[in-house]
């Protein structure tokens, strides 16, 4: 696609429910990144993919968070048993390759609210 | 570990005034440095980046930034601010193996512009 697409754009869920957030990167981009943006906290790195592999998942906050990427394209971030502190904007970005100097293209994010 | 500090959480300037947003980084080698802007309801957009060479880099929308190794700084400047520059600005440093694999962001500076 022309840009990075994320869905849904907004998600309200009840505490304890599972949620799935989707990211569709730019076609041909091998690198895909997930960040979390909490109010006043800046962007927190979660995980990145090179193809379908995740060499660095050091930013995932707990084992309730997981992510996968299939076909070198779409990625899904899953949060199990959501908690109120999971409320944030989840941003996805893609890059042609895993090199910071190539620059990232960000999606518009998914705003997750846990009530 | 690599880190980025943006000391100013919120800045207000008058339209037409000059602007400087501060950024300090922590990184052992020559860093890859970036400035992104996030306008309300928009995704993050790359303003400029520094990898090597001339320490004064020009970006889009009339912005520039200067890399100062002795001060571990990469401050963003604009000579004359426009109302449309009101947004949140993020400084980032390349991190991971060789500084290549991911970006670490600061907490952001929110810019308000008075008419």
Could you report the per-residue pLDDT of A22-36, keeping only the tens digit for each? 999 999 999 999 999
Identify which of B76, B104, B96, B94 has the alpha carbon closest to the alpha carbon of residue B11.
Answer: B76
Chain A residue with minimum CA distance to B9: A40
Chain A residue with minimum CA distance to B49: A101
For the cut 80, the answer to whether the pLDDT of residue B1 exceeds it is no
Chain A residue with minimum CA distance to B105: A43
**A41 in B contact zone (CB under 8 Å):** yes
Average the pLDDT over each of A41-50, A80-89, B9-18 and give the range with the smallest value. A41-50
Cβ distance B49 to A40 less than 8 Å, yes or no, reads no
Cβ distance B105 to A42 less than 8 Å, yes or no, reads yes
A55-108 tens-digit pLDDT: 999 999 999 999 999 998 999 999 999 999 999 999 999 998 777 677 789 999
B28-71 tens-digit pLDDT: 677 889 999 999 877 899 999 998 888 999 999 999 999 999 99
Chain A residue with minimum CA distance to B10: A40
Cβ distance A41 to B107 less than 8 Å, yes or no, reads yes
Cβ distance A101 to B9 less than 8 Å, yes or no, reads no
- For residue B108, list chain A residues with Cβ-Cβ distance below 8 A: 42-43
Q: In Å, how far is A69's CA from the nearest CA of chain B?
A: 17
Residue A95 Cα to chain centre, angstroms? 14
E-state strands within B7-101? 10-14, 19-21, 24-26, 33-38, 44-50, 56-58, 64-68, 73-78, 87-95
Q: How far is CA A89 from CA A41, A113, B78, B101, B112, in A?
A: 11, 9, 29, 22, 22
The residue to which tokens 């200067």 are assigned: B66
- pLDDT band for A1, please (50, 70, 90 cuts): low
Q: Given this model, what pLDDT does residue B68 score?
A: 94
Q: Given this model, what pLDDT does residue A100 score?
A: 67
Cβ distance A43 to B105 less than 8 Å, yes or no, reads yes
Q: Given this model, what pLDDT does residue A12 score?
A: 98
Q: Given this model, what pLDDT does residue B97 score?
A: 67
**What region, left, alpha or beta, does residue A16 occupy, with left being phi > 0 and alpha being psi -120 to 50 degrees?**
left
Q: What is the DSSP letter of B79?
A: S
């Amino acid at each position: 696609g022309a840009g990075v697409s994320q869905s849904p754009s907004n998600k309200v869920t009840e505490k304890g429910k599972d949620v799935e957030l989707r990211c569709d990167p730019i076609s041909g981009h091998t690198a895909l990144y997930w960040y979390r943006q909490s109010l006043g906290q800046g962007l927190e790195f979660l995980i990145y993919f090179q193809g379908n592999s995740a060499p660095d998942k050091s930013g995932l906050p707990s084992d309730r968070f997981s992510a996968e990427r299939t076909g070198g394209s779409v990625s899904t971030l899953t949060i199990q048993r959501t908690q109120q502190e999971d409320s944030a904007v989840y941003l996805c970005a893609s890059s042609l390759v895993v090199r910071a100097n190539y620059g990232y293209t960000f999606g518009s994010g998914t705003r997750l609210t846990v009530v | 570990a690599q880190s980025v500090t943006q000391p100013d959480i919120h800045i207000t300037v008058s339209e037409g005034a000059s602007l400087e947003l501060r950024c300090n980084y922590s990184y052992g080698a020559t860093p890859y440095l970036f400035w992104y802007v996030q306008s309300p309801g928009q995704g993050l957009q790359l303003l400029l980046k520094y990898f090597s060479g001339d320490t004064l880099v020009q970006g889009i929308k009339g912005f520039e930034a200067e890399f100062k190794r002795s001060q571990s700084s990469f401050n963003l400047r604009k000579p004359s601010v426009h109302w449309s520059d009101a947004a949140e600005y993020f400084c980032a440093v390349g991190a991971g193996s060789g500084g290549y694999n991911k970006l670490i962001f600061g907490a952001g500076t929110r810019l308000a512009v008075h008419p």
